[in-house]
Structure 1
Amino acid sequence: MDRERLQYLLERERGGAASVEERAELEAWYLSYESQPDFTKRLSERALPALEASIFERIESALEQESPSLIQPGRRTLYAGMLRIAASVLLVVLAGAGIYFYLSRAEMVREQTGYGEVRKVMLPDGSEVTLNGNSEITYLSNWGNEQLREINLKGEAYFKVTHTSDNRKFRVRTAKDFSLDVLGTQFTVASRKSGTRIVLAQGKVQCNLNAAENETLIMKPGEMVKFTGNPSDYVRKNVQAFEYSAWKEHKLIFNNTTLEEVSQILEDTYDFKINAETPELLTRKITGSVPTDNIEILIQGIAEASGVIIAQNGKELTITNRKRQ
């Protein structure tokens, strides 16, 4: 695990946003820290307290399991204080450097949208994120002087990144083994169950195709990179970038798009379950634009453009062939 990954995981754990997989990754690091003490020397002011807090919890848990009867209720505060000191001492041993203070801790912020909701979020550095429906981002409330501005994304979002005078890197992470780095640019990222897609509108983006970041890809404006599963198995092609961010303006633009792809958008963004009368119907292609402000009009527009009938029953959509008159 590299230093930036460790710092990211520690900050997510302290903010209560770490997933089961991320906690397991931290657990593996804890078990092997003796062979890699240099990591803690270069952690940020926020990651160090997170590491100390984790160590504190581990010391407390271990002592309570060892001799719970020794902890008397009236001495709980003193006991906790002693454990905190023990954790601090252990942290100094691990880090090989002084005492770390807690005056400027940043909290983990989580922003979410419901199905069909589009919302703008301003980040601590002035960058702007527009979240599509059923999407989530997590980030630190104050990046301070950190050289890395990092944000975690689930779902789909359009980023308008502010360039800093000291050229600080901005990173979007969608999975343990994939992230992308920028300085100042505009792009769309979608991380859904069907796969991950990056479309660059302006500037330059570096895609880190694995956790070690030794396999990278530089994107140019007007390019799309997408993959399912392994990031190294990506597809790269030129596209009209505005088509993939039109949802910001409350519309969807289709360009020879299959009804199967459209159905996936309806599932991911609006929580619809799609049933097709025959598989052949999903191969039909659509070209055009439909508004998203009104769900009924959206569904009707898709049906008209593809020559089918779409019947809605709550959150279920049934697609049948339109009978010729």
Structure 2
Amino acid sequence: MEENQNNMEDLLLAYYEGQGTEEERARVESWIHESEENHQIARQVGMLCLATDTLKMSEKIDTEKALKKVKRKITVQKRIIRWDWLERAAAILFLPVLAALLMEYWVHRDNEIQMLEARTSPGMTAKIVLPDSSVVCLNSNSELRYPSSFRGEETRKVELQGEAYFDVYRNPDKKFIVSAPGKTQVEVLGTSFNIEAYQEEPEVTVTLVKGKVVFGYNLSGESKRISLTPGQKVIYDVKNAAAKLDKTSCLVETAWKDGKVIFSNTPLKEALHALEKRYNVKFILNNPHLDGAFTGTFTNQRLETILEYFRISSAIQWRYVDSHDKLNQRTEIEIY
């Protein structure tokens, strides 16, 4: 029995880290649906995965001190999670963002539904497990607001500013709705899709990987809706309230969640935009006549290596420049 529990623990960890075979993922999902208890355990493991991911990105935390504080508050009711792994995750629960995310699991309070908020710093990503077991990968400099529970509601509503990849838990009785800047929203039942909707950007882009979604926007006071099928993306011009559908392999738009940057005949401006998010820099394009398209896959390469690839394969040059804005925390790079 204990061996089966440990095996399921390993499968759960792989599931929330995006690993494992299709057969293993199906086994995990079947196990989650077997009982409400399994459902709750899966949610907690997902939150602990988020904790571990954040720990890897932070090297300045006094983990021993934090661990002692957390140990006094944590009560483990089911030992499906081995204590040694729990310690590693619990050590960082006092990070501000995680304090909010994990409140409903570690602190026994009243049953009042609260709005929770998850934010990512520039250049960093995070994984969030929602109350219905939907999984959200949050990209750099993004913000997600969602309730601590979807109970008692006719729909599951969340708010996004930035970019996120959603793997939505299917529930035919409750639509899943993502509200985004530009008075836009995406409605789904159970599916996987990517939304890029930064407040300051002129476009909102929704890319559908599998399932079906409906993109909604407002045109002169009238609600408009566009249905997407897998392999399609809608690009919405916020200023002009204009939307267009394009075909896509989905690889370019979703590579960021796997720590990659993929270009497939990608125009220069789009390529620079992707690098800005990944490396937390700002490009200054001083020559509007520069163009070109790039193809390649990059994982752990330094930014300078990628820019040298651009220089060699096209006519562009680049250099670091001193920022005149002392409040600007992003490194500026001139493209000429």
Give the whole-Å Cα distance in 2 for the aligned partners of 1:120 and 1:231. 33
Give the whole-Å Cα distance in 2 for the aligned partners of 1:186 and 1:213. 28
Rg comparison, structure with higher value: 1
- Is the CA contact 2:215–2:225 (under 8 Å) kept in the aligned structure 1? yes
Trace 1:275-314 onto structure 2 (pairs within 5 A). 275-281=284-290, 283-291=291-299, 294-313=302-321
Give the whole-Å Cα distance in 2 for the aligned partners of 1:201 and 1:150. 20
Give the whole-Å Cα distance in 2 for the aligned partners of 1:238 and 1:123. 29
How many residue pairs match? The answer is: 217
Give the whole-Å Cα distance in 2 for the aligned partners of 1:249 and 1:294. 16
How has the CA–CA distance of structure 1 residues 295 and 117 changed in structure 2, closer, same or farther, with 3 Å as cutoff? farther
- Is the CA contact 2:233–2:247 (under 8 Å) kept in the aligned structure 1? yes
Trace 1:76-155 onto structure 2 (pairs within 5 A). 104-155=111-162
- Is the CA contact 2:123–2:277 (under 8 Å) kept in the aligned structure 1? no
TM-score (norm. length: structure 2):
0.59
Deviates more, 1:235-244 or 1:297-306: 297-306
Determine whether 1:243 maps to 2:252. yes
Give the whole-Å Cα distance in 2 for the aligned partners of 1:303 and 1:249. 26
Determine whether 1:179 maps to 2:185. yes
Give the whole-Å Cα distance in 1 for the aligned partners of 2:150 and 2:254. 27
Give the whole-Å Cα distance in 2 for the aligned partners of 1:287 and 1:266. 14
Aligned to 2:165: 158
Q: Which runs of 4+ in 1 moved over 6 A?
A: none
Aligned to 1:254: 263
Q: Residue deviations 1:205-240, cap 9 Å, x none? A: 011223988421111110110112158410111111
Give the whole-Å Cα distance in 2 for the aligned partners of 1:178 and 1:241. 21
Aligned to 2:332: 316
Give the whole-Å Cα distance in 2 for the aligned partners of 1:144 and 1:119. 25
Q: Residue deviations 1:235-276, cap 9 Å, x none? A: 111111122101111111112212122222333454322223
Superposition deviation, residue 293 in structure 1: 6.1
Instruction: Write the letter of the residue equivalent to 1:278.
Output: N
Give the whole-Å Cα distance in 2 for the aligned partners of 1:118 and 1:294. 17
How has the CA–CA distance of structure 1 residues 267 and 111 changed in structure 2, closer, same or farther, with 3 Å as cutoff? same
Percent identity reads: 29
Gaps of 5+ in 1: 1-101, 321-325
1:209 counterpart (217, 220, 234): 217
Superposition deviation, residue 299 in structure 1: 3.8
Aligned to 2:174: 168
TM-score (norm. length: structure 1):
0.61
How has the CA–CA distance of structure 1 residues 229 and 162 changed in structure 2, closer, same or farther, with 3 Å as cutoff? same
- Is the CA contact 2:236–2:244 (under 8 Å) kept in the aligned structure 1? yes
How has the CA–CA distance of structure 1 residues 226 and 277 changed in structure 2, closer, same or farther, with 3 Å as cutoff? closer
RMSD: 2.5
How has the CA–CA distance of structure 1 residues 138 and 285 changed in structure 2, closer, same or farther, with 3 Å as cutoff? same
How has the CA–CA distance of structure 1 residues 125 and 290 changed in structure 2, closer, same or farther, with 3 Å as cutoff? same
Superposition deviation, residue 307 in structure 1: 4.9
- Is the CA contact 2:182–2:238 (under 8 Å) kept in the aligned structure 1? no
Give the whole-Å Cα distance in 1 for the aligned partners of 2:258 and 2:277. 18
Deviates more, 1:208-217 or 1:146-155: 208-217
- Is the CA contact 1:201–1:242 (under 8 Å) kept in the aligned structure 2? no
Superposition deviation, residue 306 in structure 1: 3.8
Superposition deviation, residue 199 in structure 1: 0.4
Give the whole-Å Cα distance in 2 for the aligned partners of 1:304 and 1:145. 58
Q: Residue deviations 1:107-143, cap 9 Å, x none? A: 1111111112121111110000001111111111111
Superposition deviation, residue 280 in structure 1: 2.4
Report SS of the residue matched to 2:205: strand
Give the whole-Å Cα distance in 2 for the aligned partners of 1:319 and 1:213. 41
